[in-house]
Copies of this chain bind each other. A is one copy, B any other.
Amino acid sequence: MALIVQKYGGTSVGNPERILKVANRVARWRKNGHGLVVVVSAMSGVTDGLIKLAKEVCPEPSERELDMLLATGEQTTIALTAMALHHLGVPAISLTGAQAGIVVEGFHTKAKISNITPERVHELLGEGNVVIVAGFQGQSPEGNIMTLGRGGSDLTAIALAAALRADLCQIYTDVDGVYTADPRIVSTARKISEIAYDEMLELASSGSKVMQSRSVEFAKKFGVIFEVRSSFNDNEGTMVKEEHISMEKVVVRGVSTEKNQAKLTIAHVPDRPGVAARIFTVLAGAEINIDMIVQNVSAEGSTDITFTLNKDDLPKARRLMDPLVTEVGAREIRAQEGIAKISVVGIGMRSHSGVAATLFRALSENGINIQMISTSEIKISVVIAENDAPRALQVAHDAFHLGG
């Protein structure tokens, strides 16, 4: 008799037939005696359709009105999901984000959840209902509807689980769980049964986009244990939770790759305070996301600063950097596309030396050249040629015996 928060994404509720399947799954969990809160996204395609409609009346729609418009997507799904449960004889009631007490703040289209007052959800659960809550949305203290941006429905589910002190939060998606590597690239990849928040975060930031980092960070902050699992089968998924001692026995939890990267080097930058700050302030001001930053020790009073970014942002970044080269007294700027990042992640590597050595040796033995290296406490990332990426991922996976 647990309280479970389940979240179903846009693909899982993509049409009436799938909504009925979701209802069937919810009904089975309820039959086993569990209390259920179900968070749903907009049906897949609906959000894009609404944005298209908006652009037909206004090329650059205001974000406040875009939120008003997009929030109808989830509102449609909650009503349909409640109806589907009724059809199966299960008492259910739908709530918009505002009705569920989800208070948000910040900016339209990318709001943050600031508070949840779950009295109404508790009350409706107490009356025996499955409570269906619209993901991705909430209400500001001024009474405006705001959406949460990418990964917003996951965040709604995890925040509700925290506020309701739920026993478990299940994130239903179109994959079976988190894998030791992308199974489409590495055939021997295995599903991970449990993973620490930090490992999940490092994998997410390294291209394993099962979930957005913000939801995992929120779960970590409030200690919400959640499971990533498939809405298309009954397999157990991956449990994401606080690390515990036995997790450390596994040195490397998984490997990931990120393609479509580019790197930009500003060469012979004078080694004086404030130069790096100047460069990255300009990039941040243009909302260009920077991934790795590498600066080696200086030689003869100057150094090279290299950073990686999405290759789509490269032209813009270059335009911004060109005048800076003169301004800061650097010599030149070099850009390169066609690179990829490979990351090896595991909390166990904190207490095990030699992980880096193993990775570098394996890549070298396979003739894969390393262009850049960056490390965190539980991650080692290397930049290589994009062509080498699939083979490098397989090599790294084998080197740490992740195939079992």
Interface residues of A (CB under 8 A from B): 16-17, 19-20, 23, 50, 53-54, 56-59, 61-62, 64-66, 68-69, 71-72, 75-76, 78-84, 86-87, 93-94, 96, 99, 120, 143, 145
Contacts and interface: CB of A to CB of B under 8 A. Distances in A.
A59 B87 contact: yes
A61 to B, nearest CB: 5
B57 A87 contact: yes
A19 B96 CA distance: 26
B53 A16 contact: yes
B66 A71 contact: no
A78 B68 CA distance: 8
A10 to B, nearest CB: 15
B65 A53 contact: no
Main secondary structure of the interface of A (DSSP, over half): helix
Contacts of A54: 79-80, 83
Contacts of A75: 68-69, 71-72, 75
A66 B76 CA distance: 10
B143 A56 contact: no
Contact of A76 (B16, B64, B72, B83): B72
B65 A99 contact: no
Given A19-B57, A143-B99, A62 B78 contact: no
A93 B64 contact: yes
A86 B99 CA distance: 29
Nearest to A59: B87
Given A61-B86, A65-B83, 18 more contacts: A16-B56, A20-B57, A50-B76, A53-B76, A54-B80, A54-B83, A57-B80, A58-B86, A62-B82, A65-B93, A68-B94, A69-B76, A69-B79, A69-B83, A72-B72, A72-B75, A72-B79, A75-B75
A66 B86 CA distance: 12
14 contacts: A16-B53, A16-B57, A17-B56, A50-B76, A54-B79, A57-B80, A57-B81, A58-B87, A61-B86, A62-B82, A68-B78, A69-B75, A69-B76, A75-B75
A94 B71 CA distance: 13
A379 to B, nearest CB: 42
Contacts of A58: 83-84, 86-87
Nearest to A69: B79
Nearest to A142: B120
Contact of A83 (B62, B79, B87, B93): B62
A80 B84 contact: no
Nearest to A57: B84
Contacts of A79: 54, 65-66, 68-69, 72
A187 to B, nearest CB: 39
A93 B57 CA distance: 15
